[in-house]
Amino acid sequence: MTRRTCQAIILAAGQGTRMKSRKPKVLHQVAGLSMLGHVTKVASEAGVDLVSLVVGPEMDDVHKEASRIHPSVNAHIQTERLGTAHAVLAARADMIDAKDDILVLFGDTPLLRTETILKMREKLADGNDVVVLGFHSDEPDPYGRLLEQNGKLVAIREGKDCSQEEFKVNFCNGGIMGFAGQHLLTLLDSIDSNNAQGEFYLTDAVEKANEQGLKVLAIEADEAELQGVNNRMQLAKVEATFQYRARVNAMTNGATLTAPETVFFAFDTQIGKDVLIEPNVIFAPGVTVADNAEIRAFSYLEDASVGERCIVGPYARLRPGTILQEGAKIGNFVEIKKSLIEKGAKVNHLSYIGDARIGAKANIGAGTITCNYDGYEKFKTDIGAGAFIGSNTSLVAPATIGDGAFIGAGSVITQPVNADALAVSRSKPVVKDKWAASFRAAKEKKSKR
């Protein structure tokens, strides 16, 4: 497709009333990203130059969310609710110098695909003036029907207004529309509110465009892709659809999910080939997993990079800033935060590693913790290549353990340890023979009084 300019008008003024929430509806999340974020991200990927965001009063957070994802966002406040065409006209200032393509999107349809928007833009580039996105449904009520004649869309009819023949039509209105930019303002200004609701409906643009001799076309998308969200139940349904898609995509691209329905992905999770993912694994945003890695059961990963042939879990937690290099192993009940675990290093069980570097092939014993926080500041721990840290060791940061050093089990390390040195820090044990027997006898005698 030759380069055409494009504007997306995203309607996002919903207050979340039916969500029973103080948060604007479009800021509720699906797979770790707001619904608005999903729509804005797809628009950006489809080559949209300008996002015109229609919001309600005091919805600065909505503007900030869209601006976090797209570099050019103008917010327009809709002060009255007089229908979808009226909402689009809130962005009139951005339409004066119209782009080639103008898309009207909804901030609560997070499953819309980039390829679908690109298809709409292709149809506009082919000379169509209005392109409407629809879907076929076995249960078309309560959706509006897309009425076609000879391959041309002639009207969008609300279900309650359909004739008996029109009522049988199962090609439904998905709400999303594309326009040749040069015609949109004229079409919007021609729409009136002569209807039972007294509102200005964007769907009327289809008949207005036909009256003006413009080319109007409907194209089809999958019904699931056009799901909107008005309440928490619909939000859960959309989340389930996203997760099904993500699981299928991971397996199609070469990953093994032993219990797919128990694995949850974020919007940006990247999984390599020949990756094994066991049951009950959760990927929060920002995770990449390289080829041949294993993510074992009941692990939680967030903003972390897992290298080739790494093993994570079971019951591991990778927190933001974790980087595992090739062949690293993180075992059960281990938490890693903001740390680099270099090639072949092992943190096998019951340990906390935070703000640290673990050198290549180092071995961290069970119960080891990096004491990285003093209540005010965070401090770093650096453990050299090939070092061995004995079980139940506390490394009080800032701490430096040289290459090949050994730390004896149960030590509390507060000073630097040189390469190849042995450090042991323990209190001298006190042993009193037969003390326990005397203690029990005294207690039993007291209890009999």
Gap between the Cα atoms of 158 and 173, Å rounded: 9
Question: Was 158 annotated as part of a binding site?
Answer: yes
Q: Is 209 annotated as a binding residue?
A: no
- Is 262 labelled a binding residue? no
Residue 217: closest CA among 228, 206, 230: 206
12 labeled part of a ligand binding site: yes
352 carries a ligand binding annotation: yes
Residues 6+ apart with CB under 8 A from 403: 359, 384, 385, 386, 387, 419, 420
Give the torsion sign (CA, 223, 228, 232, 236).
Answer: positive
Residue 201 marked in a binding site: no
In whole angstroms, give the CA distance from residue 92 to residue 205: 16
Binding site annotation covers 14?
yes
55 closest CA partner among 45, 65, 41, 70: 65
Whole-angstrom distance, CA of residue 3 vs CA of residue 114 = 16
The annotation status of 159 as a binding-site residue, yes or no, is no
Is residue 337 a known part of a binding site? yes
Any idea what DSSP says for residue 159?
Answer: G
Q: State yes or no: 173 annotated in a binding site.
A: yes
- Judge whether 86 and 79 are in contact, CB under 8 Å: no
Report whether 84 belongs to an annotated binding site: yes
391 among the known binding-site residues? yes
Distance CA 245, CA 228 (A): 17
Q: Is 243 known as a binding-site position?
A: no
| Short-list 150, 139, 122, CA closest to 46 | 122
Backbone CA torsion sign across 171, 177, 178, 182: positive
Residues designated as active site: 349
Tell me if 108 is assigned to a ligand binding site. Answer: yes
Q: Does 194 show up as a binding residue in the annotation?
A: no
Residue 144 annotated as binding? yes
For the purposes of burial, counting CB atoms within 10 Å of the CB of 332, is it exposed (0-12), middle (13-18) or buried (19 or more)? Answer: middle
**How many angstroms separate the CA atoms of 447 and 270, rounded?**
64
Residues annotated within a binding site for acetyl-CoA: 366, 372-373, 391, 409, 426
**Binding site for UDP-N-acetyl-alpha-D-glucosamine: what residues are annotated?**
11-14, 25, 78, 83-84, 144, 158, 173, 230, 319, 337, 352, 363
Residue numbers in the known binding site for Mg(2+) are 108, 230
Residues annotated within a binding site: 11-14, 25, 78, 83-84, 108, 144, 158, 173, 230, 319, 337, 352, 363, 366, 372-373, 391, 409, 426
